[in-house]
């Protein structure tokens, strides 16, 4: 039986924190579907296509089947549509844990066949958020410790134009 995990997020941009959670998830599933949330009311720094390309680039060396797709509905429905039996969520701190526990309960009621798996961030990536990465990059700061090299290059290119 093929175990499919669904890893949702905005990934705007993909960070080393995302990569940490993804590397942990690879050991739990035969396939990982990375779901990029696309919401008409939000304007991301990177388009869906740019984010998908960056994710494909930074995950190409991983020994795993990883695909990327967009979603604009409930995460648990997107996971079901992808054939996933588990939903991957990263947890950085107690605030994340409280929120993710609530979401796990709601999602479990709506789709009991999908198990939410909470993966703790490693101490060295716990503080990284895509929001902070974008803010630092926009203000000319060095984000290289927080993102894969390809993402750092893309941020510099995006902000120089």
Report pLDDT for 81: 98
pLDDT digits (tens, 9 = 90+) for 24-54: 999 999 999 999 999 888 889 999 999 999 9
The backbone torsions φ and ψ at residue 36, rounded to the nearest 5 degrees and listed phi first, read: -95, 115
Integer Cα distance of 4 and 84 in angstroms: 5
pLDDT for the residue numbered 87: 98
Coil, strand or helix: which one is 99?
Answer: helix
Alpha-carbon span 91 to 99, nearest angstrom: 9
- Tell the residue number behind the tokens 């984000």, with chain if given: 143
Q: Which domains can be identified in the chain, with CATH numbers?
A: 4-160 (3.40.50.620)
- Residue-level pLDDT at 143: 97
Query: What pLDDT is attached to residue 63?
Result: 84
Q: Are 153 and 144 in contact (CB under 8 A)?
A: no
Taking only the tens of pLDDT, the chain with its 161 residues reads: 789 999 999 999 999 999 999 999 999 999 999 999 998 888 899 999 999 999 999 999 898 899 999 999 999 999 999 999 999 999 999 999 999 999 999 999 999 999 999 999 999 999 999 999 999 999 999 999 999 999 999 999 999 87
């Amino acid at each position: 039986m093929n175990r499919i995990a669904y890893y949702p997020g905005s990934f705007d941009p993909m960070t080393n924190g995302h990569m940490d959670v993804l590397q942990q998830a690879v050991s739990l599933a035969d396939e990982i579907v990375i779901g990029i949330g696309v919401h008409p009311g939000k304007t991301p720094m990177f388009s869906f296509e740019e984010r998908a390309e960056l994710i494909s680039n930074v995950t190409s060396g991983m020994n795993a089947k990883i695909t990327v797709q967009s979603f604009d509905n409930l995460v648990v429905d997107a996971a079901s549509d992808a054939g996933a039996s588990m939903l991957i969520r990263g947890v950085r701190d107690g605030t994340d844990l409280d929120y993710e526990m609530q979401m796990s309960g709601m999602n479990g009621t709506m789709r009991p066949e999908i198990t939410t798996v909470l993966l703790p961030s490693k101490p060295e990536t716990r503080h990284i958020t895509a929001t902070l990465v974008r803010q630092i990059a926009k203000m000319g700061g060095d984000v290289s410790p927080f993102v894969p090299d390809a993402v750092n290059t893309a941020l510099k290119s995006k902000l120089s134009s």
